[in-house]
Amino acid sequence: MDTLPIADRARRLHRDALVVDLHADTPTEFFLDDGYDFGERHDLGHVDLPRLRDAGVDVQFLISWVPAELAATPGASFGHAEALIRAIHRVVSATRGARLAADAAGIHEARGAGDVAVMIGVEGGHAIENSLERLRELHGLGARYLTLTWNNTNDWADAAGDHARHGGLTAFGREVVRELNRLRMIVDLSHVAESTFWDAIDASSAPVVATHSNARALCDHHRNLSDEQIRAVAQTGGVVGVNAFPAFLDTDYGAAFERIDAETKALERRLHARHGDARRARDEARLWRDRQLASLPPIPLSRLADHVEHIADVAGIEHVALGLDFDGILTTPEDLPHMGALPRLTEILLARGWSEADLRLVLGGNALRVIREVIG
C-alpha cells in the first residue's frame, strides 16, 4: 500500500501519468499580443508553459475561438480562425519546451523529448464559412477538432445558447460531420443544442467528444449534458471533458452568473448610449461585472470532482477526461486558480478512494485513446 501523503501521491501521479487537457482559450487572450512569452510564468490568465509543467500536463489543446459577431461579415470568421491558428504556430515554435503535435505519434515524440505537446482545436462552426473546402484548409493548418457551434446558431447547426433555426443539423451540417470523419478530425459537441447533438451522434461514424461540458444532473445549465447524452457519447467511444467554470458546476452560481451577465450587457448598452465610446462602455461594464462576480460565494473544487464522479458513474470510467476551459472562463473553483493547481483535483479524488489506475485514465489515457482512434 502506498504510504505517501495524498498531496505527494497526486504530484507524483501528475509527473508520471500522461495528462491531457482538451480545451484552453489562451490564444484568444494572449497570442495576438506583441511580446507575449508563453514560456514565461504569468500572473494573468490560467495557462502558460511553466504552469502546464507544474500540473504535469503533457498535451494541451489550444483553441482558435471565433467570436459570434464575425459571422455577419463574409470571410471574417475564417480569417480570424486562420489568424489564431497561425499565432499558435508562431508562439509554440518560439517556446522552448513546447512543440506542435498532429497525432498520437507526435504526442509520444514530444513526451519522449520532455516537451509539452500542443494540439489545435477550432471553436465555432461558423469558422468554415459554410464551406467544406474551408474546413479542409483548417485541417491543413493543423486543426484536429471542430466544435460544431459556439453559443451562436450558425447556418447549419443549432447552438445550446441561441434560438433554434434548423431543428438540429441541416443536410449540409451532416455533410460537415461526415467530412470531419473523413479528415480524421474530432467532432466536438460542447455548445450544441440537444437536437444538434443527436443529429451529430447519428451522422458520425467515429467517436465524438464534448470537450468542455459537465453533468446537467448536478448543475442544470444548457451547456451541460443530460445523463442520456453522456451515455450516448460513451457509446460512440468518446469522452466528456469536465469544465472548471463554476457556472457549469453549481446551479445557484450559474443562475447568479446569468443574471450578472445580462445586467452587464444592459449596462454596456446604456454606457455606450450615454457617452458614445464603445470601448470605454465595454471596459466600464466589465469592471462592474468583475466586482459582482468577485462577491459571489466561491464554489469548492470538490464540485468539479463531483462531476468527474457522476460522469464516470453514468458512462464508465473510460469516458471521462479533462477540458477545463481555462482562459475562456471568468472565474474558477476555490483552490483551482490556474492550471498549475490541477493536482489538487487529483488529491480530492485520491482522498475519495480513487485508484491511480482509474485516475490515469481520466487525466489523459481516455483522451489519448480517442486521439489515437480518430486522428491516428
Greatest alpha-carbon pair distance for the chain in Å reads: 67
For 209-232, the DSSP string reads: EBTT--BTTTS--TTSBPHHHHHH
What are residue 122's phi and psi, to 5 degrees?
-115, 130
Residue 193 · residue 168 · CB < 8 Å: yes
Rounded CA-CA distance 224/160 in Å is 9
- Work out the percent of the chain whose per-residue pLDDT is above 90: 93
Q: Which residues contact 111 (CB under 8 A, 6 or more apart)?
A: 18, 58, 117
Q: How far is CA 190 from CA 171, 200, 210, 223, in A?
A: 20, 12, 5, 7
Tally of CA atoms within 13 A in the half-sphere of 43 that contains its CB: 0
Helix (H, G, I), strand (E, B) or coil at 157: strand
Rounded CA-CA distance 142/171 in Å is 26
DSSP class of residue 141 equals: T
The C-alpha cell that represents 249 in the structure block: 458546476
The pairing of beta strand 240-242 with beta strand 143-147: unpaired
Q: pLDDT digits over 182-240, tens only?
A: 999 999 999 999 999 999 999 999 999 999 999 999 999 999 999 999 999 999 999 99
Residue 59 · residue 117 · CB < 8 Å: yes
Rounded CA-CA distance 62/27 in Å is 7
DSSP class of residue 170 equals: -
Rounded CA-CA distance 218/254 in Å is 12
Rounded CA-CA distance 103/194 in Å is 29
**Which stretches does DSSP call E strand in the chain?**
20-24, 59-65, 98-100, 116-123, 143-147, 186-188, 208-209, 240-242, 320-322
Residue 342 · residue 325 · CB < 8 Å: no
pLDDT for res 3: 62
pLDDT for res 2: 61
Size of the chain in residues = 376
Residue ranges of alpha helices (H) inside 217-320 are 227-235, 251-275, 278-294, 302-315
Rounded CA-CA distance 94/308 in Å is 35
Residue ranges, the chain, pLDDT below 50: 1
The enclosing H or E element of 370 equals: helix 366-370
Which phi-psi region, left, alpha or beta, contains residue 278 (left: φ > 0; alpha: ψ -120 to 50)? alpha
Angle between helices 251-275 and 278-294 (to 10 degrees): 150
Q: How far is residue 229 CA from its own chain's centroid?
A: 18
